[in-house]
Structure formats: C-alpha cells, structure tokens
Amino acid sequence: MTFSFVVLHESYCWFYNKTKLSFIFLLLENYGVRKLEAVFAVLIATMALSFAWMFGEAEPNGVELLLGLLIPKLSSKTIQQAVGVVGCIIMPHNIFLHSALVQSREIDRRKTGRVQEALDYYSKESTYLPEKYGGGILSILYIWGIGLLAAGQSSTLNAGQFIMGGFLNLRLKKWLRALITRSCAIIPIMIVALAFDTSEDSLDVLNEWLNVLKSIHIPFALIPLLCLLSKEEVMGIFKIGPVLKEPEQRPIRPISLYLEGPSRTGKTAWARNLGRHNCFSGRISFKDYDQDAVYNVIDDIKYSTVPTELMKNLVGCQRDFHVFVKFQPDLIIRGGIPCILLTNGDSSWLDAMSPKMREWFDVNVTTVMINEKFY
C-alpha cells in the first residue's frame, strides 16, 4: 500500500482517495469473493493497459532493448537502482502471498491437479510491477500512477491480512482483521505524505530506498520458507527437491520376485504365508494399504493395467513415492519393500514388456518359472 502511494504527486488528495478505496474493497468482500475478484480483475486489466500505453508513448529503441537483454551491463552508479528493482519485482510479501491466496479458494486439496491449477491462476493474478519509469512526459506519469495504484491495491490488500492470520496467529473475524491491518497501514502513509511532500524528487528518492529495503528483507522471508517447503511432513507431495536431481535411490535394497506358472501350483498360498504383507489382486489399489507390511504381493494383474512409473516404484522398491487415493489424503509409500509378482502363463508380464522395460526388469527382479505344484 505504501509503495503504490508514495509515487503519486498530490499527497493529500491521493491519501484521501487511497484510504477511501481501501475500505470500499473491504466492504465489497462482504458481498462475496466473486464480486471482489471481479473488481481485482478490472484493476489488473487497468494496470496492464496503462503499462502497455506507457510503453508505446515512451517509444524505446528495440535494438537497444534486445542488446540489453542478451548482453546486460551494469555500472557502479546504478547499483542502488538494480537492488531496488529486485525488491520492487520480487517483494518480500510475494514470497508467501501465493500460498495464502490459494487457501482462499475452496478446492479439493487432495487432488494435486486442482491445487496446481489454483497456483497457476494466482501466479498470473498477482504479478508484480517493474521499477518506476522516470520519463519527463506528464501524461506518462499519470498513466503510470493509475497502473501503480491498481497494482498496489490488488496485491497489498491481500498480503497485510495474511500476515496477521498466518504469522501472528490472531484468530479474528475476517472483516475485523482486515480493518485493523488497513488502519495500521494508513497511519504510516499519512506520516510519509506530510514528511516527504517537499518536492517530487524527495518522493522518488524515498521510493528507491523503500525498494532497496525490500531487497534486504527478501532473504529473511525466503530462507525459512525454503526450509519448510523441503520438509515432507509439511508439504507432502508438493515437497521441493534439489534442482535437476532425481530422488536418491537406496544404496542397499531388496530384490523383488517374479513367479510365473500354471494355476493350482500353490503360488498364492505360499506368497501370502510369509509374513505381514499387502496383497493386490485383480487391480492395484492403495485404499487399505498397510504401511507396516514387510512385502507386497501382486497377484493375477495384467501388465497393461499397471502404469510404468507405478510399476517401477512398487516393484523396483528403490525410493519413497506418493500415490493418490480417492477421498483420502495422498499416501507416501515407503521404498525398500519388495514385491512378489504372481502370474499365470497366459498372462505373462515378460511377453508384454518392451525390450527396454525387460532389461530394467531383469536387473531389479528375480524371475522363477514354475511347472508343477510346490506348496
């Protein structure tokens, strides 16, 4: 809110309008999230059109823009502006804002696809702004002011509320929490308006140092967040891992067993009497999966019905993996649990595999062919 205010020239007039707009938006929220989202959509569209208009009025040199993107240069005199751009574009509150935004949408969080869809939508809705363009054309400054006002309302109206609810754990009514956060923000803005209304340059300098301050704050928000995102007990299936690195395989792991032969040879009875186990028969379902089982039995399931990735994880038993169970939270299946695969001759897995898959199977599974009853 402060960021979008200090760049405007008529401090007192804009202070009044800004305050009035803030409380109008709080009032709109009482009429439903959809109506408030519609207002934000108008604000974001206004911001986009304002920036597009400003870009056209500025008429930048296309060749120089391209060269700057491909061969960036930075002189020592522009360090402050460069650090300010980082703070202006990333912003500390942006580090945690998107996850809080997704929580306001009623979706089935057990379905990873729905969660990812919400993340995609909100990442587009909450796009933040580049550094202020300092041209001398009055019309461009007003265009920028309108776009900046719209963007500032769109982003900070949400972030201030999430700080109280998430960081301070203050369980207040939604309208009361919003009223407190906006009221607290208005007081510093009034002080800034009175103290820095001596000239245009003073507001510009303040704006630049505010952006530098945001850059300094980013690590304090980012590092704890990355620590939380890397913990499986917090994030579950959405846990982040090392970039461009596969999950580590177990250095020592059991080898699964594949038994193929005619029916009535005792394969199933033998496999199910070795200890505590999970048995998949006819199809693979993790609805009643026993996490304390010491092995799994896959009995009479066609190879074509088992997805390749699931088969590698379950049969290869190299690493932990996640599975989705309808109407239940996602499960984490522990690696290192061997499988006993039972098939009849007329439904052989070996015959259905591609050469590449058969090569992997021979490395990870011991194959035994049975021709007579053994149990």
Q: Assess whether pLDDT exceeds 70 at residue 295.
A: yes
User: Does pLDDT of 188 surpass 60?
Assistant: yes
pLDDT digit string (tens) for 113-139?
555 666 565 555 544 333 343 343 344
Residue 327: per-residue pLDDT: 65
Burial group, residue 91, by CB count within 10 angstroms (0-12, 13-18, 19+) = buried
* Count of other CB atoms within 10 angstroms of residue 150: 23
Task: Give 27-78 pLDDT, tens digit per residue.
Answer: 666 666 667 667 767 777 887 788 788 878 877 887 888 888 788 777 777 7
| pLDDT tens for each residue of 205-216 | 777 888 888 888
Give pLDDT, residue 270: 92
Q: The whole model's pTM is what? A: 0.43
Considering the four listed CATH numbers 3.40.640.10, 3.40.50.300, 3.40.50.720, 3.30.230.10, the one that applies to the domain covering 249-369 is 3.40.50.300
Ranges 123-132, 155-164, 267-276: which has the least confidence: 123-132
Neighbour count for residue 366 (Cβ, 10 Å): 11
Give the DSSP letter of residue 47: H
- Alpha-carbon distance of 47 to 70, in angstroms, equals 27
- Going across the sheet that includes 339-343, the strands are 277-281, 295-299, 339-343, 256-260, 365-369
Q: Give 19 or 66, the one with higher predicted confidence.
A: 66
Gap between the Cα atoms of 193 and 209, Å rounded: 16
Average pLDDT, the chain: 72
**Dihedral sign, CA of 279, 283, 284, 287?**
negative
Can you give the residue ranges of every domain in the chain? 1-31+74-238, 249-369
- pLDDT band at residue 4 using 50, 70 and 90 as cut-offs: very low
Separation of CA 361 from chain center = 35
pLDDT value of residue 177: 63
Residue 116's pLDDT is what? 61
Calculate mean pLDDT across residues 259-267. 88
Pairing of strands 365-369, 256-260: parallel
Q: What is the pLDDT of residue 178?
A: 60
